[in-house]
Amino acid sequence: MRSTTWCATEVQYSASKGTLRCAFCRYTWTEQSLDQIMGLSDGIADLVGTTVSSAAVDIEDGAALITIECTGCGAEVIIDTDHNLSARCHWCKHTLSINNRVPSGAVPDGILPFSVTKEQAMRSIQAFVDERKTFAHPAFAESFKAENVMGFYMPYMTVDGNVVVRLDGAGEILRRTVRVNDKQTEYHADEYAVMRELSMVVDDLIVETSSAKVDIHSTTSTSNIINAVLPFDVKNIVRFNSNFLGSEYTSERRDMDVDAAEAYAAGHFMTLSRAGAAPTLGNYNRGVRWESEQVNIKGSRWVAVLLPVWLYGFVETRGSRQITHYIAVNGRTGATMGSVPINRRKAHLVAWGTAAIVSAVTWPIAIVVLVLGG
């Protein structure tokens, strides 16, 4: 690959072409595939211990990438100062001030550049909102402008795993049913102690590494939406180059290391094993209750990457509580998911108004049936 460092003072990224271009000499290139450079698809079954990619090093002072803490929502946003001297927070749209610079985290090993353009993302978000207009909160409907969508890179780690998962629980097989009376039935069944142990090779599990967004059960935001646009075509991740951020995109700071992210990866390994064990449980027609899950991570390989997301945010104020609603578009596949705040008064009116109308018809009939049957 040719370097442009001797002439390039401004390198631009084209999402529609997926290429970097030197504005001075017009040389166009793409970065190397991380999968090929690091051999990330090879030898997963032989992994032993924890392998962390070596490219994750601290950003040096004075580098083009700086991290700024948003005074609006507290997010830590990375911008490329070679291209971008003023930027807004991708979560709350607050204007970022360089006075609030904080220590940077670590540069990632790889980045999956945007291929979905802003115009395409706007169309996807507009279509998503158009399908949800009827019961949308009035403040949301009035302020919604698809052009306010912002592109940013979320920090994740891709994880390859060589794991063994053991599941223990109980299962029941129905043998016969006995009608006790007109209202009650007894189910006679055999109970079994059920154990399954699965060896698995997992390729490119994606684990979030921004602690503020990893809590999907938050009552103050709908950050579960962002992970719902996964997966990404992670085999196309290329070596990190800050020019992919350029003037259009920002990045969320990674604040979770492998130790912190490992529990989430283990949870995903258990999810995979539970799904993998399901076909072996066909005999248990009364179901299985898994009581214990133990994952043995024999070997894992971690690579820090940035993945592209288009995001639209809206803050709903409900009494003293604020809930941030997000609509996200996968920056590679265009997959769209979101949370649209509800006009609760209208929704209540329609739901319970319909209930009242139906009841007004059915209740008199029910009373007649009771009287005649009685």
Partner 1 sequence: MNDSEGSGGIAFFLFALGPGTGIAIWMWIQAKYRNKSARYKPETTVAHTITNVVQEDKFTRKIVSRSRSITGRNESDHHERARVSGVVKG
Which residues 144-163 are close enough to bind partner 1 by CB under 8 A? none
The token duo for 319 is 């009494």
Q: Does 316 bind partner 1 (CB under 8 A)?
A: no
**Residue 153 CB-half CA count within 13 A:** 33
- Position 370 contacts partner 1 (CB under 8 A): yes
Considering the complex, state which of residue 30 and residue 50 has its C-beta at the smaller distance from partner 1. Answer: 50
Instruction: Identify the residue among 25, 28, 42, 49 touching partner 1 (CB under 8 A).
Output: 49
Please report the DSSP string for 89-105 in residue order.
-TTT-PBP-GGGEE---
Of the pair 244, 312, the CB lying nearest partner 1 is at 312
Separation between Cα atoms, residue 368 and residue 307, nearest integer Å: 63
For residues 175 and 190, the answer to whether their CB atoms sit within 8 Å is yes
Closer to partner 1 by Cβ: residue 24 or 352? 352
The footprint of partner 1 on this chain (CB under 8 A) covers a number of residues equal to 102
Stretch that binds partner 1, among 30-38, 171-179, 236-244, 245-253 (CB under 8 A): 171-179
Q: Which two tokens mark 176? A: 């016969």
Residues between 254 and 313 that touch partner 1 (CB under 8 A): 262-263, 266-268, 270-272, 274-278, 280-281, 283-284, 286-298
Touching partner 1, residues 187-216 (CB under 8 A): 187-206, 216
* Shortest distance (Å) from residue 127 CB to partner 1: 14
Residue closer to partner 1 by CB (options 144, 244) is: 144
136 binds partner 1 (CB under 8 A): yes
| 179 touches partner 1 by CB under 8 A | no
**Is 219 an interacting residue with respect to partner 1 (CB under 8 A)?**
no
Nearest distance in Å: CB 369, partner 1: 5
| Tokens at 197, concatenated | 């142990």
CA atoms within 13 A on the CB side of 84: 27
Single out the residue of 184, 319, 320, 321 in contact with partner 1 (rule: CB under 8 A): 184
Residue 294: which of 264, 278, 273, 276 has the closest Cα?
273
Burial class of residue 117, CB neighbours in 10 A (0-12, 13-18, 19+)? middle
- Tell me the closest approach of the beta carbon of residue 217 to partner 1, in angstroms: 10
Residue among 10 and 291 whose Cβ is closer to partner 1:
291
* Residue 305: C-alpha distances to residues 53, 206, 216, 315, 354 (Å): 10, 10, 20, 28, 50
Is it true that the peptide bond before 231 is cis, omega within 30 degrees of 0?
A: yes
Torsion angles phi and psi, residue 129, rounded to 5: -70, -40
325: nearest Cα among 141, 173, 113: 141
Interface with partner 1 in residues 341-360 (CB under 8 A): 341-342, 347-348, 350-352, 354-360
